Amino acid sequence: MDAFRLILVSLAGWMNRQQQDVIEYLQEEIGVLREQQSGRRIRFTDAQRARLARKAKRIRFGRLREVANLVTPQTLLKWHRTLVARKYDGSARRRKVGRPPTRDEIRGLVIRMAEENPKWGYTRIRGALANLGREIGCGTIADILRGPAWSLHRRGIAGVRGQTF
């Protein structure tokens, strides 16, 4: 059993040394890249900040001081706190305030019906839309026909006066 433990300890020590060599190489590589930057600040995207923050959180703070070369450990931990706060602030579930806008399909139908039937009023257009399976209020039809989209269409229609609707 002692021979097995000796081999296991030797293998673990060798793997640790290999990992340490890789870390030292990567630190040196980062140092060379920073020298090439010549003092300019490195700009990170939000996705890059999130990736660095997730990796940094797994490393204890003292070790992070030795390893972190691009940004300070305090900055990495601040990014992580921001990432966690964003996860729980409810912004993913927030919706816009107010009633959703009328779909473009329905707007188009209302304008088309008003163009093709200039003597129809809001109630008649509403009834025709109901026959097509589209429930819409008279006030919504009025808003659509008072809006800028209808005024552009109305200019091109011959014989339609402003008092028709």
User: What would the pLDDT profile of 102-130 be if each residue is shown by its tens digit?
Assistant: 888 999 899 889 889 889 888 999 999 99
Distance between CA atoms of 79 and 5, rounded to whole angstroms?
42
pLDDT-derived band at 67, boundaries 50, 70, 90: confident
All residues at 6 or more sequence positions from 82 whose CB lies less than 8 Å from its CB, including other chains: 53
If DSSP codes are grouped into helix, strand and coil, which group holds residue 141?
helix
For 1, the token pair is 């059993």
Which structural domain range is residue 117 located in? Answer: 104-157
Looking at the structure, do residues 79 and 125 belong to the same domain, yes or no? no
pLDDT-derived band at 158, boundaries 50, 70, 90: very low
pTM of the model: 0.43
Please check whether residue 132 lies inside any domain of the structure.
yes
Domain count, the chain: 2
For 81, the token pair is 């706190």
Please check whether residue 95 lies inside any domain of the structure.
no
Please check whether residue 1 lies inside any domain of the structure.
no
Identify whether the C-beta of residue 134 lies closer than 8 Å to the C-beta of residue 109.
Answer: yes
Looking at the structure, do residues 47 and 79 belong to the same domain, yes or no? yes
Looking at the structure, do residues 79 and 122 belong to the same domain, yes or no? no
The contacts found for 50-57 with CB under 8 angstroms, 24 or more apart, are 50/79, 50/83, 52/76, 52/79, 53/77, 53/79, 53/80, 53/82, 53/83, 54/80, 54/83, 56/80
Looking at the structure, do residues 82 and 122 belong to the same domain, yes or no? no
Query: Residue 153 carries which side chain, given as an amino acid letter?
Result: H
Looking at the structure, do residues 32 and 63 belong to the same domain, yes or no? yes
Higher per-residue confidence, 80 vs 8: 80
Looking at the structure, do residues 21 and 76 belong to the same domain, yes or no? yes
If DSSP codes are grouped into helix, strand and coil, which group holds residue 42?
coil
Please check whether residue 94 lies inside any domain of the structure.
no
Please check whether residue 67 lies inside any domain of the structure.
yes
Q: Does residue 30 surpass a pLDDT of 70?
A: yes
Please check whether residue 55 lies inside any domain of the structure.
yes
Looking at the structure, do residues 108 and 83 belong to the same domain, yes or no? no
Please check whether residue 10 lies inside any domain of the structure.
no
| Confidence at residue 163, expressed as pLDDT on a 0 to 100 scale | 54
For 45, the token pair is 């995207």
Distance between CA atoms of 12 and 24, rounded to whole angstroms?
18
Please check whether residue 98 lies inside any domain of the structure.
no
The torsion defined by the Cα of 18, 23, 29 and 34, in degrees rounded to 10, comes to: -170
